[in-house]
A and B are shown apart, each in its own frame.
Chain A
């Protein structure tokens, strides 16, 4: 039972353009949503989060949007840079379970 899904295994974007990574979830009880970034041979690093009571959170080039009615969130990266090439994981958390649930990940490649 995959509660958090990232349906695109990979995404290729030109440098300077917008990257949009998508994530769907099934459990309406989630309290927070997070995005993690992972380079090869390194552990994931926290990127940005959003509370379930908000619909947008912005941090520099990164913006996360939450659409609760559609149970969908997205990460926008503008402008995309070569250093953004990595695997991005969407994750969700709810207090009841006290743990993170991760999606499958999307490999983002930024082309020069």
Chain B
């Protein structure tokens, strides 16, 4: 079974803090993705990566950056957290040939106060 794990299930941070969300997959997938889920808006893509050290902006990259130093790990960074970044963050991965079918982690509920 594909396993995608995220470092924290719940996180509370203060406005202005730098926040790191970590994601690890164990199936040697080439592609990794970060989404945020908000009520009424569905899942929106923040960033994705097709390979180590490679990244592409998604639909809502503002206020976020990413890092992929190893194939199995994809980090999402909030440089200076703001209250409008309070959300559920979901990481996903997929194989190079099956980009359309993604496997998701359990999510991190981030609250910025």
- Chain A residues with CB under 8 Å of chain B are 4, 6, 9, 31-32, 34, 36, 41-46, 49, 89, 91, 93, 98-100, 102-105
Contacts and interface: CB of A to CB of B under 8 A. Distances in A.
Given A49-B101, A93-B100, A100 B45 contact: yes
B90 interface: yes
Nearest to A42: B106
Interface string B20-60: 00000000000001010000111111001010000000100
Nearest to B102: A100
A4 B45 CA distance: 13
Contact of A43 (B44, B48, B90): B90
Contact of A103 (B9, B42, B48, B90): B42
17 contacts: A9-B40, A34-B100, A41-B106, A43-B90, A43-B104, A45-B104, A46-B103, A89-B42, A93-B100, A98-B50, A98-B99, A99-B33, A99-B99, A102-B42, A102-B43, A104-B40, A104-B42
Nearest to B45: A99
A84 B94 CA distance: 25
A30 to B, nearest CB: 10
Interface string B67-108: 000000000000000000000001010000001111111110
Contacts of A104: 40-42
B82 to A, nearest CB: 23
Taking each of A36, A44, A89, which has the highest tally of chain B beta carbons within 10 Å of its own beta carbon?
A44
Contacts of B101: 34, 46, 49
B110 interface: no
Contacts of B42: 4, 6, 89, 102-105
A54 to B, nearest CB: 14
Contacts of A105: 42
B43 to A, nearest CB: 4
